[in-house]
Amino acid sequence: MNPPRHFALIPAAGIGARMGAEFPKQYMPLAGKPMLMHVLDTFAATAAIAHTFVVISADDSYIGELMTAAPQLQGRVTLLYCGGASRHESVLNGLHAMRDQVGDDDWVLVHDAARPGLTSGLIEHLIEALRDDAVGGLLALPVVDTLKRCDQNQRVAETVPRTALWAAQTPQMFRYGLLQTGLTRAESVTDEASAIEMLGLQPRLVEGSPRNFKVTLPHDVALAEIFLKDYS
């Protein structure tokens, strides 16, 4: 019986509206190359990853130039032009599109295109931690800040105890069959772990890294470049 393989799935069909950029943020130059390229290079350089699939919109006009300038990704990355209106839809469409190349017991690592600080070490750490796990799990960080819930006027309504709270990151790693079932049954979720939770299962939290944060707002770019230049 063959051991399960590990595949990366990158939903990259968003437009990055909160960045205020003229083009999708995954193509924004960051420390010398497009943000998405940092992610693809990291997965391509990780021996445990059998292949990487990228879900993009049908009318994406940027990915062609990126791939042409990246001979190191040839044979390591497949583009899936089936992006949806949400992350949930894009990931599920991607799972359907890669069906013929992946077994139900193979692992799928879903990672945000806007988390360029991911390293091969973090990927290997996640894979090792979940190697024999019956459910799967995700990288995450324990919450260290005091949390406040506000009212409609942005005044403090409640202080939320941070004990046992974690901030979810990606990759989120689950077996193909389970992940497809979870996302098919869920109506709307913002991450894959939520879909697995709706099946009554408990994904495992694996400690990640502050460098693996999501670039969302304009001021995040400078911080991401600091991490990337320090790592290069």
For 97-127, how does the pLDDT look when each residue is reduced to its tens digit (9 = 90+)? 999 999 999 999 999 999 999 999 999 999 9
Q: What is the largest CA-CA distance in the chain?
A: 59
The answer, as to whether pTM is greater than 0.85, is yes
Long-range contacts of 218-222 (CB under 8 A, 24+ apart): 218/19, 218/20, 221/28, 221/30
Buried b (16+ CB within 10 A) or exposed e, 51-90: bbbbbbbeebeebeebbeebeebeebbebbebbbeebbbb
Buried b (16+ CB within 10 A) or exposed e, 176-202: bebbbbbbeebeebebbbbbbbeeeee
CB 105 within 8 A of CB 176: yes
* Beta bridge partner(s), residue 9: 53, 110
Measure the CA–CA gap between 107 and 7, rounded to whole angstroms. 6
Q: What is the DSSP letter of 22?
A: S
| Residues in Cβ contact with 71 at an 8 Å cutoff, skipping those fewer than 6 apart | none
* Residue 158, CA distances (Å) to 148, 154, 163, 164 in order: 6, 11, 15, 17
- Nearest C-alpha neighbor of 126 from the set 116, 114, 117, 136: 136
Share of the chain above pLDDT 70, in %: 95
7 or 225: which leads in pLDDT: 7
| Cβ-based neighbour number of residue 48 at 10 Å | 15
pLDDT in tens, 143-182: 999 999 999 999 999 999 888 999 999 999 999 999 999 9
| pLDDT value, residue 14 | 75
Domains in the chain and their CATH numbers?
6-231 (3.90.550.10)
Q: What is the predicted pLDDT for the residue at 220?
A: 85
